[in-house]
Structure 1
Amino acid sequence: MKAMLLNSAGSWRDMKIEEVEKPKPKEGEMLVRIKAAGLNPVDYKSGENGIPTWKYPHILGLDAAGTVEETGPGVDRFSIGDHVVFLNDMTEWGAFAEFAVTKAFAASKLPYNVLFQDAAALPVAGYTAYQALFHKLRVKEGESILIHAGAGGVGGFAIQLAKQAGLKIFTTARKENHDYVKKLGADVAVDYTAESFVERIQEETGGIGVNYVLDTVGSDNATKSLDILAYNGHIAFIAGAPKMDEFIDFSHPVSFHHVALGSVYQSRNVKEQMKIAEIGNHMLDLLSDGKLEAMVSQKIPSVDIPQGLEQLETRRVRGKIISEW
């Protein structure tokens, strides 16, 4: 099969499409012919540093959508030709290839009216947003949330899901993205390049703060966000933990939630792994019903994946970039 090969850690900018042997599904697995694969910051970050268990050449790519080509023993929920989407296991060969293997119980079947390109936008960004809001923060209607980087993949999905859940939504975004994030559902957009989001949120909430924060930026940003959490507030963090010890205060208790969606494959907890498909099924239904926008901003040929990842590295991309195979 043809695949975009990473020949060594740090060489992701130089990846090229080459021929490798097609993988074979084992028990409980299925081989999927990839039609579309989403690009994510984790692709260039892992491609830069590598993972100790990888053997090179490696294939990156965690967002995958396509048709079932072959099923291994014990797979009975899917048939040859089914349209599916799945979150790939980061330790295995990924979706930047003509074919990829997945555990069948972690895949979701596409509704008839959902395109491969839109489905491929979901797994890393969409599932992460869903897990953060509903499995970690357990958001409640009528409360408030600050979602950082609202114009990005995780942030954009989180805004849409939070809006449907009935929250008041604050988000950070550059000025040129304010109309975009408000169209997704944000009530208040803060230009973090021009003003302090801490001061602005304190002003907007009368000094009370927000009930929830979803931080997708990093440890320092998450730490600053603690200053605008309301009493008994919750923060979910993806890109780095806040400095918790500096904020543990009896008079102002808050709760911390670490979100690491893809790490579930390294656990032995099959029940938790199966929740990936449950999230996927729900989000696909929302897409099918027109209640969720996939936010696909660019569709690129597979040969341009390295250039797409370079765009993501600038942190200026709206929504999702999808490669087509």
Structure 2
Amino acid sequence: MHAIVAVDARDVSDPLALRDMEIAEPALRDKDLLIRVEAVSCNPTDVKRRARVKSGGEPRVLGFDGAGVVEALGPDVDGFTVGDKVWWAGDAGRAGSNADLQAVDHRIVSRMPASTTFADAASLPLTALTAWESLFDRMRLSREDTGTLLVVGAAGGAGSAMTQIAKSVTGMTVIATASREDSAAWCRRMGADAVANHHDLVATTEPLAPGGIDYVFSAYTPGNIEAYATLVRPGGQIVSIDGGDLDLLPLFPKSISFHWEYMFARARYDTWDIGEQGRILSQVADLVDDGTIVPTATHYISDFSAEGIREAHRLVESSSLIGKVVVHR
């Protein structure tokens, strides 16, 4: 089958940063679906993983978000049939979605929204799972919870999903952060109640939440811990999705809780509740179909090749991308 692979770490400007290659079709595990990939999106994790590919190893098929059609089922699969249109965010330990076919554990897959194209569907799985797990698994919130949520990096894919899900599934007031007029307008379109500037986070957020922030969803954590310590109320909670070498001591005097969110953890460790990801995606599909949540694709590349995927990586690396970029057939 055709796949787009990385064979070594190269700058995105290099035409060989990603390459078209013919590789063997994936072998199915017992719980797998074999899916013909129709569309993918590019996430910051794709860019980071491309930069870490070591020369001399096996070619790496990147790509996580996907939307496509089920072609075959492993013997222990239930709930799916050949021909189903599905979406998924994948498993960081397996070959990705930048290929004609991908083998994916059916427990982390669900039907895709019936109301969307494959391209629009591919914009949401990873970010919707990240947002949902942050709210309900990390911060242990319920649909009845209220308070003020600060979404840092709200114009990106994860922030766009978080704003929509927090506004539609909880009682949160959402303050988004953005630094340009177009990104601030996008945040309001996603449902944000107010917009602060993350380049002057404390000064622009305090007037919007004079009583303090209850929760923070952070896509840009390094360099912001001191600001969070100032803004968050005693006993508040922070979820970070970007990692980094952090000094969390400034959070101690207010007993502020700090959580990591890594969407791939369930699949990586085959946790007892791995099927929760399929159930979450099914709920998100319902929210898309009833118009509560909208896809977050803003750039569409109709070139499912190394050149099309490389352009998607370039857009993500530009750090000015609003929403998501998708590549489709």
Pairwise same-fold verdict (TM > 0.5): yes
Q: For the residues of structure 2 that align with 1:31 and 1:222, how far apart are their CA atoms?
A: 43
How far the C-alpha of 1:78 sits from its partner, in A, is: 1.1
Matches within 5 A, 1:98-109: 98-109=100-111
Q: For the residues of structure 2 that align with 1:144 and 1:103, how far apart are their CA atoms?
A: 36
Aligned to 1:220: 223
> 142, 154, 160: which one pairs with 2:158?
154
Matches within 5 A, 1:212-251: 212-240=215-243, 242-249=246-253
CA contact (8 A) 2:7 2:57 kept: no
CA contact (8 A) 1:215 1:222 kept: no
Look up the equivalent residue of 2:32 and give its one-letter code: E
Matches within 5 A, 1:165-244: 165-176=170-181, 177-193=183-199, 196-206=200-210, 208-240=211-243, 242-244=246-248
Aligned to 2:317: 313
> 20, 27, 30: which one pairs with 1:24?
27
Relative to 1, partners in 2 of residues 1:212 and 1:51: Cα closer, same or farther, differing over 3 Å? farther
Relative to 1, partners in 2 of residues 1:141 and 1:26: Cα closer, same or farther, differing over 3 Å? closer
Q: For the residues of structure 2 that align with 1:270 and 1:311, how far apart are their CA atoms?
A: 37
> Percent same amino acid among aligned pairs?
25
Relative to 1, partners in 2 of residues 1:109 and 1:58: Cα closer, same or farther, differing over 3 Å? same
TM-score (norm 1): 0.92
SS at match of 1:37: strand
Q: For the residues of structure 1 that align with 2:186 and 2:270, how far apart are their CA atoms?
A: 40
Deviations 1:212-271 (A, max 9, x none): 00100132224432221012111011112642223312xx22111110111222214131
Q: For the residues of structure 1 that align with 2:166 and 2:33, how far apart are their CA atoms?
A: 34
Q: For the residues of structure 2 that align with 1:265 and 1:168, how far apart are their CA atoms?
A: 32
Matches within 5 A, 1:1-325: 1-10=1-10, 13=14, 14-50=17-53, 55-139=57-141, 141-164=145-168, 165-176=170-181, 177-193=183-199, 196-206=200-210, 208-240=211-243, 242-249=246-253, 252-271=254-273, 273-300=274-301, 301-303=303-305, 304-325=308-329
SS at match of 2:146: coil
Deviations 1:136-172 (A, max 9, x none): 1234543101101111000011111121222111111
TM-score (norm 2): 0.91
Stretches of structure 1 lacking an aligned partner (at least 5 in a row): none
CA contact (8 A) 2:65 2:126 kept: yes
How far the C-alpha of 1:308 sits from its partner, in A, is: 1.1
Stretches of structure 2 lacking an aligned partner (at least 5 in a row): none
Q: For the residues of structure 2 that align with 1:79 and 1:248, how far apart are their CA atoms?
A: 51
How far the C-alpha of 1:41 sits from its partner, in A, is: 0.7
Relative to 1, partners in 2 of residues 1:51 and 1:201: Cα closer, same or farther, differing over 3 Å? farther
Matched residues, number: 318
Q: For the residues of structure 2 that align with 1:169 and 1:110, how far apart are their CA atoms?
A: 27
SS at match of 1:146: strand
Farther-moved stretch of structure 1 (222-231 vs 279-288) = 222-231
Cα root mean square deviation, aligned: 2.0
Q: For the residues of structure 2 that align with 1:312 and 1:127, how far apart are their CA atoms?
A: 19
How far the C-alpha of 1:318 sits from its partner, in A, is: 0.9
Look up the equivalent residue of 2:163 and give its one-letter code: I
How far the C-alpha of 1:127 sits from its partner, in A, is: 1.0
Deviations 1:55-76 (A, max 9, x none): 5111000001100111121223
Look up the equivalent residue of 1:30 and give its one-letter code: L
SS at match of 1:81: coil
Q: For the residues of structure 2 that align with 1:317 and 1:62, how far apart are their CA atoms?
A: 18
CA contact (8 A) 1:114 1:284 kept: no
Q: For the residues of structure 1 that align with 2:77 and 2:122, how far apart are their CA atoms?
A: 22
How far the C-alpha of 1:21 sits from its partner, in A, is: 1.2
How far the C-alpha of 1:11 sits from its partner, in A, is: 6.4
Farther-moved stretch of structure 1 (234-243 vs 210-219) = 234-243
Q: For the residues of structure 2 that align with 1:157 and 1:268, how far apart are their CA atoms?
A: 25
